[in-house]
């Protein structure tokens, strides 16, 4: 593999080992709550940790009759939800284990006798201590690894409920995915460099995606471009694009179209057709262009967000940093003081 900008191959491989070792723990937690029984599942987090959860709600619409909810942790804590009760299972994620809002909702659930499964990198963290079950996330980098943990939890539950028959093949494919994603990184890297060079100084960037890919547009536009690069963005779903944002599109406007591989792809293609006719600065991110040797075709739409994440959060972010000169780790406000 060629040398990639700001990419530590050995660290990535070690992270893959760490995540694979957590599969059994994630599956055991899923098995345990299924044995105990539950009425619904709440996925809750804040910021970038919400992104993979957003994808899961889209899968749930097509694959299960279970009541599945995704809530922003601060909103859930403040406004509540009548469906959250002692028969619920809450799944949350925070690598640091000290994200204020996620810790708060976990503590609330603990007080109410509601089971919490947390994915965290710190087994002694406040989040871990407030949770019923803990799934370790020891990876050093890669949002795609966070997806893998949540997938092993969620799809194992569906399998136990008789709604995801080919779980073992899917789960094994996930275990092999990091090697595939390293190839994707290498393939996408020249495109990432070109995109960064041509768009880093755009006055505003528009990001469009839909359905299971929406979380990736949300994460990259807000957590990477706004928080880490201070680049102005607007994100909108492929379907909603035609009800407002389309009026802002004209030649010279930078627009990014993320295409999914599920049923919603037709909505992405509708937006793409319009954009191709009205701006000369359209970038299309299509995960279908990348081979995944160990993943069955029937699961491509489910793993598409991971492919997108490895392209954008890993490769494009690094190249943008090199052109903007703005360190991805620098913040003015976030976690700098109380607010």
Domains and CATH numbers, the chain: 7-163 (3.40.50.10490), 176-322 (3.40.50.10490)
In terms of phi and psi (left: phi > 0; alpha: psi -120 to 50; beta: otherwise), the region of 334 is beta
Residues in Cβ contact with 126 at an 8 Å cutoff, skipping those fewer than 6 apart:
97, 98, 103, 107
Q: What is the pLDDT of residue 8?
A: 93
Average pLDDT over residues 91-109: 96
Q: What is the pLDDT of residue 201?
A: 98
Average pLDDT over residues 271-276: 98
Average pLDDT over residues 41-61: 96
Residue 221 has pLDDT above 70, yes or no: yes
Average pLDDT over residues 234-259: 98
How many percent of the chain have pLDDT more than 90? 96
Q: Tell me the pLDDT tens digit for each residue of 313-324.
A: 999 999 999 999
Residue 1 has pLDDT above 70, yes or no: no
Q: Tell me the pLDDT tens digit for each residue of 137-186.
A: 989 877 899 999 999 999 999 999 999 999 999 999 999 999 999 999 99
Q: Tell me the pLDDT tens digit for each residue of 75-85.
A: 999 999 999 99
The CB density around residue 161, as the number of other CB atoms within 10 Å, is 12
In terms of phi and psi (left: phi > 0; alpha: psi -120 to 50; beta: otherwise), the region of 321 is alpha
pTM reported for the whole predicted model: 0.96
Q: What is the pLDDT of residue 63?
A: 98
20 sits in which H/E element: helix 9-36
Beta strands in 73-162 (DSSP E): 88-93, 115-120, 133-136
How many percent of the chain have pLDDT more than 70? 100
For residue 256, list its beta bridge partners: 207, 283
């Amino acid at each position: 593999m060629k040398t990639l900008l700001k990419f530590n191959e050995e660290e990535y491989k070690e992270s893959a080992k760490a995540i694979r070792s957590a599969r059994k723990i994630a599956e055991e937690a899923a098995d345990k709550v299924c044995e105990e029984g539950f009425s619904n599942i709440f996925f809750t987090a804040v910021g970038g940790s919400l992104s993979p959860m957003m994808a899961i709600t889209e899968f749930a619409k097509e694959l299960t009759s279970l009541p599945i909810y995704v809530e922003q942790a601060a909103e859930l804590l403040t406004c509540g939800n009548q469906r959250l009760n002692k028969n619920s299972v809450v799944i949350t994620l925070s690598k640091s284990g000290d994200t204020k809002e996620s810790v708060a909702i976990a503590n609330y659930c603990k007080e109410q006798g509601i089971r919490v499964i947390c994915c965290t990198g710190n087994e002694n963290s406040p989040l871990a201590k407030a949770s019923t079950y803990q799934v370790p996330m020891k990876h050093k980098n890669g949002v795609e690894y966070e997806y893998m943990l949540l997938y092993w939890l969620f799809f194992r539950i569906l399998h136990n409920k008789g709604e995801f028959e080919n779980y073992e093949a899917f789960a094994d494919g996930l275990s092999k995915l990091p090697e595939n994603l390293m190839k994707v990184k290498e393939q996408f890297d020249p495109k990432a460099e070109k995109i960064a060079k041509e768009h880093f100084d755009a006055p505003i960037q528009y990001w469009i995606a839909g359905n299971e890919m929406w979380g990736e547009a949300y994460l990259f536009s807000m957590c990477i471009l706004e928080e880490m690069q201070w680049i102005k963005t607007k994100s909108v779903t492929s379907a909603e694009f035609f009800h407002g944002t389309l009026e802002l599109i004209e030649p010279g406007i930078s627009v990014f179209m993320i295409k999914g591989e599920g049923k919603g792809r037709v909505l992405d293609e509708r937006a793409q057709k319009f954009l191709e006719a009205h701006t000369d600065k359209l970038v299309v991110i299509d995960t279908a262009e990348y081979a995944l040797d160990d993943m069955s075709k029937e699961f491509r739409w489910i793993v598409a967000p991971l492919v997108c994440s490895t392209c954008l959060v890993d490769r494009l972010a690094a190249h943008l940093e090199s052109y903007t000169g703005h360190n991805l780790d620098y913040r003015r406000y976030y976690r700098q003081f109380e607010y």
